[in-house]
Structure 1
Amino acid sequence: MSLRAEVRYRRDRIEPPDYLDSLEDVDVLIEELLTGPVNENLAQIIHLDRETVVLKYPGGPGTEVPDHQLQVGVDRDFQVGVLLFIDRGGNFVTAGPPDSRNAPEYYLAGHWTRFRDQVEIPLGPVREAVKEFLTSGGQRPTCVSWKNQYLDDD
């Protein structure tokens, strides 16, 4: 199993993407998200050890896409972050404490994303979860609590 993942988070780093090749790269990414442009504080990470799936559209060729993604966002003002994990099992977002913000907003390369209520967690567990994602071959991290991105009955 490799420690290799594609990461996209800035307009100038979408194509080609950057790569995470070590646990130290995770810390660098989090710091860049914290200190970079305010409208570029969310990253999309694809682990390269995971499978791809072929999407077929009627009358067109198939397109190979990753079977998963992890998004990580950080808020420099509140010193918190959010994680969103998507794969065939569903869409899961971190379960933050009841007193965390409602509908926080994050930006991937300038594109706005609003998350559901109470999803932000401290930065320490955010870093730990991204490192676990990298070392586990792209599995949903177990070091943080999750809830369904769309359903209220978690």
Structure 2
Amino acid sequence: MELPAIRKRQCRNGRNVLEFKVRAYYNRSHIDGLAVISTPEDVDTLIEALASGPEFENMATLYSLQREFLPTGVPDHEFLIGANRERLLGIVSYIDDANYLSLGSPEARNEEIVEYYIDDNAREFPASAEIPIPIAREAVKEFLLSGGQRPTCVAWQKEPEI
């Protein structure tokens, strides 16, 4: 599968700006076509939708269109973002050659499990992976603007077996 070209657009001041795109899936309406995120404002809208939407749609799967696809036609990576409105915490996960989870509070024990949902499908994470939503938001923006690289604004841990 051919990678989409990185488009440039011109700002008001005449400078060229690279345009990056991420596809997102987080509810049934995306079965026919994934949502497209291309600006930091789109990220804010996504996080708000996850935090204020239905209880069982509080996590999204993201794929950067600037990354390569495997010979099978599927992306070579996956980025998950979850937002829990009650705890004001979120989760980020990055999968490419290994599975990484955000590393949150050291007080949380890995034996404690939290659940996030994509379209009513639960995914379990250790509670130690939860981070404040503003940090999760910044991680998504960095994922978008870096062309799908693992964000550096969060600490990471290898995903433990649950």
Report the TM-score, using the length of structure 1 for normalisation. Answer: 0.88
1:12 CA drift (Å): 1.5
C-alpha displacement at 1:15, in angstroms?
A: 2.8
Q: Distance in 2 between matches of 1:143 and 1:96?
A: 12
Of 37-46 and 99-108, deviating more is 99-108
Task: Give the gaps of 5 or more residues in structure 2.
Answer: 1-5, 7-18
Partner of 1:39: 56
Structure-2 residue corresponding to 1:76: 85
C-alpha separation in 2, matches of 1:71 and 1:16? 18
Distance in 2 of aligned mates of 1:117 and 1:38: 18
What CA deviation, in whole Å up to 9, does each residue of 1:80-114 have, x standing for no partner?
Answer: 000010002x0000001123472110001111100
Superposed CA RMSD in Å reads 1.5
Structure 2-normalised TM-score?
0.84
Of the three residues 117, 120, 134, the one matched with 1:124 is 134
State the identity %: 41
Equivalent residue number for residue 104 of structure 2: 96
Cα deviations by residue, 1:59-98 (Å, 9 ceiling, x for unpaired)? xxxx31100010000100000000010002x000000112
Partners in 2 of 1:120 and 1:6 — Cα distance? 23
Q: Which residues in structure 2 correspond to 1:5-154 (within 5 Å)?
A: 5-54=22-71, 63-88=72-97, 90-100=98-108, 102-150=112-160
Count of equivalent residues: 143
